[in-house]
Structures are given as structure tokens and as C-alpha cells.
């Protein structure tokens, strides 16, 4: 089988595509891949590292305000469709799969016009502009959140699969996670992380919260600051506490996040869709601080989905402080019954078989060519 993957701009669009590729490799050996991404997007550096052949097109997203830049974007879209058609005609895929981000717009649209089976995956509770547009042309829309099927009223077929990143983490080793942190197996771990690049508001709360941690000194706190914030955050904590206590671990980045997640008792994080898929796959209770700087405020919608089910607490960034964050952590970590309940509800929301469900749909769409 031959598969074209497309999507990009952020890891939230790229990593689900990689998860789909890995599941296809496992279920349909011998599959050949081509990834079509943007010249400026993160995918241009991440995908080659995954040993997936990569081609790029020149495309930018629409501005939500009236702007001459949107005229340029339309011109780039038209040219992107033309370039995509040439790439698709050369590669001759059995299916084209888009995972969001403006780059997949011209690629998936071109595939639909060429009569190639098409599928898109929407990670967020509120769909992105590109996937809303493409839903009218593709054969199948896969959604990550149950109940969000109604967001695509003009789609031919919509299925609830969950996010394929859930499949990536489901077999992660907690023992390796503890070992990588230098902690005894079965330690109680609170992981505080602001995303791969960090978040200033969360790092500020980490610093303000540090003096309170002595009240929970049997719990291991892991602060992941993001490399850009690491030195400053660690130095400020040293100044506040006169050093770094043994139960506080300040790290710039975590390269084995699935394993660290598997060893985590409670996580404090943003509410990106892929990350929520990972924590629900493992049944981790969470305190979510949605980023206010995202399109359509979709992170809050993602977070509220978990909150409504009792799997998470939500703190809006405008209400975030060291005191509010520590109070929320303390309330959960001193109530074992609540931890169990939140974990159970989190696991109910998880879809560890997400990638397999997507492959099943791929088989259905390509049955005539397999």
C-alpha cells in the first residue's frame, strides 16, 4: 500500500500523523509513505528524523482579520493544489490522510479532486478551519472527542476514533520512567509541564508554589520548564528556597515523555489534544491550564470535556498563581479515593486502540485497491 500523510505547523498535528504511520507499518507491512508538509512548519525538521520521505509545499494560513495577506494565501493555496496534484500523480497513493494545520488543505483537496480516497483526523473538541473546509470533500472525518461528530454536518462520514497518540503511550514502561527520573518505583509523582517549549505563566506558578512543597514532602515534584525557561526558573527557585530540595526535580525537557507519564500520579499541563489523549490512555488525573492564545479557545473546550467527566480540574490562566495551583494539587494528592476516581474517569475517556480504529477505516476506504 502507498500512503500520503499531511499535516503540520505544530506537534499536535504532526505526532498523530506519525502515530498513524507506525500503526500502518505494524498492521500492513511493506507500506510506502510520503509526507507532504509546509516549508516553514515544524514538520520539515521532525518528519525526516522519523525516516519518512518528505516533500514540501509553500503555504500559509488565513488571517482572521481582513488583510491583503489573505489574497496571497489564496494564491499560495491554488499553487499548493497544483504542486500537490503533481506529487500525488507521481507517488500514486492508495489513500491521503490529513491531520490538520493549513498545509493539509491543498494536499487533501487535491487528492479528493483526483479521486483518491481521503481521510482527515481532527484532534480538538472545536475543529480547525482547515478541517472544517476539507470535511465537505473527504470520504471520512475521524474525531478525537466523543460528541464532536456534530461539528461536521456536511461530511459524508464521521467516526469517533480518539487520538492516535493514545496508542503510542499505552505500552510505555513506568519502571523506565521512574529510572529516568532517578526515583524509586511506585513513588508518588506530580509532573508540572507547560508544553514542549514551556509556558511563562506556568513557570511563574512553579516558582511561587515552590515554598509550599514542603507540606507534601513525601511526594516527588517534577518541574519541566522548557529549555528557554530552564536556567532562569531553576535559579529563581534556588533563591526562594536557598537550594533545591530532594523531592523537587527541575528539568528543561523530557525526551521520554510516554515513560515519564506512565510513572506519573498527577499531571499539571496545558490542554493540547494530543497530550490529553496520552494522559487519558494511561488514566492519569490532571490539573489543566488551557492556553488562552489558541484559535477559538479550543484548549479550554478540550479541558472542559475532561472536567465534566471528573477526570480533571481546570484552572484558567487568569486565575493561576502558586497558591491556587498548590491548593488544587494538595486537594487531590491528599485524597487517595479522589485520585482513584479521577484516574478511572480519565481512563474511560481514553482510546488506546485509536490508531487501530483509524487503520480499520483505511482498510475500508482502500479495499478496492488492496
Mean pLDDT of the residues in the chain: 93
236 labeled binding residue: no
Q: What percent of the chain has pLDDT over 90?
A: 85
310 labeled binding residue: no
Task: State yes or no: pLDDT of 250 exceeds 80.
Answer: yes
12 labeled binding residue: yes
Supply the pLDDT for residue 11.
Answer: 85
Task: State yes or no: pLDDT of 355 exceeds 90.
Answer: yes
**Lowest mean pLDDT, pick from 22-31, 188-197, 246-255:** 188-197
Task: Find the mean pLDDT for residues 302-319.
Answer: 97
Q: What is the pLDDT of residues 87-133, one digit of tens each?
A: 999 999 999 999 999 899 999 999 999 999 999 999 999 998 899 99
Task: State yes or no: pLDDT of 64 exceeds 80.
Answer: no
Categorize the per-residue pLDDT at 284 as very low, low, confident or very high, splitting at 50, 70 and 90.
very high
Task: State yes or no: pLDDT of 285 exceeds 60.
Answer: yes
Supply the pLDDT for residue 41.
Answer: 85
Categorize the per-residue pLDDT at 262 as very low, low, confident or very high, splitting at 50, 70 and 90.
very high
CA 227 → CA 10, 236, 254, distances in Å?
17, 15, 10
7 labeled binding residue: no
Q: What is the pLDDT of residues 1-17, one digit of tens each?
A: 999 999 998 888 999 99
CA 208 → CA 95, 205, 211, 244, distances in Å?
50, 5, 7, 14
Task: Find the mean pLDDT for residues 314-342.
Answer: 98
Categorize the per-residue pLDDT at 294 as very low, low, confident or very high, splitting at 50, 70 and 90.
confident
Task: State yes or no: pLDDT of 66 exceeds 80.
Answer: no
Q: What percent of the chain has pLDDT over 70?
A: 95
10 labeled binding residue: yes
Structural domains in the chain, CATH included, are 2-167+352-365 (3.40.50.2000), 171-349 (3.40.50.2000)
Supply the pLDDT for residue 370.
Answer: 47
Supply the pLDDT for residue 218.
Answer: 94
Supply the pLDDT for residue 60.
Answer: 64
The burial class, CB within 10 Å (0-12 / 13-18 / 19+), for 20 is buried
Supply the pLDDT for residue 341.
Answer: 98
Q: Which residues, at least 6 apart from 279, have a Cβ–Cβ distance to it below 8 Å?
A: 261, 267, 269, 286, 346
Task: State yes or no: pLDDT of 58 exceeds 50.
Answer: yes
Q: What are phi and psi of 335, to 5 degrees?
A: -130, 85
11 labeled binding residue: yes
Per the listing, cell 481582513 goes with 66
C-alpha cell recorded at residue 349: 475517556
Supply the pLDDT for residue 9.
Answer: 84
Amino acid at each position: 500500500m502507498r500512503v500520503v500523510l499531511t499535516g503540520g505547523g505544530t506537534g499536535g498535528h504532526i505526532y498523530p500523523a506519525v502515530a498513524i504511520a507506525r500503526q500502518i507499518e505494524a498492521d500492513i507491512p511493506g507500506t510506502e509513505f510520503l509526507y507532504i508538509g509546509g516549508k516553514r512548519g515544524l514538520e520539515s525538521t521532525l518528519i525526516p528524523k522519523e525516516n519518512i520521505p518528505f516533500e514540501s509545499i509553500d503555504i500559509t494560513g488565513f488571517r482572521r482579520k481582513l488583510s491583503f495577506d489573505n489574497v496571497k494565501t489564496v494564491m499560495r493555496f491554488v499553487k499548493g493544489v497544483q504542486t500537490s496534484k503533481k506529487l500525488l500523480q507521481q507517488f500514486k497513493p492508495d489513500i491521503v490522510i490529513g491531520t490538520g494545520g493549513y498545509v493539509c488543505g491543498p494536499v487533501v483537496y487535491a487528492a479528493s479532486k483526483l479521486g483518491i480516497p481521503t481521510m482527515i483526523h481532527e484532534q480538538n473538541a472545536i475543529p480547525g478551519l482547515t478541517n472544517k473546509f476539507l470535511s465537505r470533500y473527504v470520504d471520512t472525518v475521524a474525531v478525537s472527542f466523543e460528541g464532536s461528530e456534530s461539528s461536521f454536518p456536511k461530511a459524508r462520514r464521521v467516526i469517533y476514533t480518539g487520538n492516535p497518540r493514545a496508542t503510542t503511550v499505552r505500552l510505555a514502561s513506568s519502571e523506565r520512567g521512574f529510572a529516568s527520573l532517578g526515583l524509586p518505583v511506585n513513588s508518588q509523582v506530580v509532573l508540572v509541564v507547560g508544553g514542549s517549549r514551556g509556558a511563562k505563566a506556568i513557570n511563574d506558578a512553579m516558582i511561587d508554589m515552590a515554598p509550599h512543597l514542603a507540606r507534601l514532602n513525601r511526594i516527588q515534584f517534577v518541574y519541566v520548564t522548557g529549555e528557554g525557561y530552564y536556567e532562569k526558573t531553576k535559579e529563581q527557585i534556588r533563591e526562594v528556597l536557598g537550594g533545591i530540595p530532594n523531592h523537587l526535580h527541575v528539568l528543561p525537557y523530557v525526551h521520554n515523555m510516554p515513560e515519564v507519564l506512565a510513572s506519573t500520579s498527577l499531571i499539571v499541563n496545558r490542554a493540547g489534544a494530543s497530550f490529553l489523549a496520552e494522559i487519558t490512555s494511561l488514566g492519569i488525573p490532571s490539573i489543566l491550564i488551557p492556553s488562552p492564545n489558541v484559535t477559538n479557545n479550543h484548549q479550554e473546550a478540550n479541558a472542559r470535556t475532561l472536567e465534566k467527566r471528573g477526570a480533571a480540574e481546570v484552572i484558567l490562566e487568569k486565575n493561576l498563581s502558586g497558591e491556587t495551583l498548590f491548593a488544587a494539587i494538595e486537594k487531590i494528592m491528599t485524597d487517595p479515593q479522589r485520585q482513584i476516581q479521577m484516574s478511572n474517569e480519565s481512563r474511560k475517556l481514553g482510546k488506546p486502540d485509536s490508531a487501530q480504529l483509524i487503520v480499520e477505516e483505511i482498510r475500508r476506504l482502500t479495499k478496492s485497491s488492496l
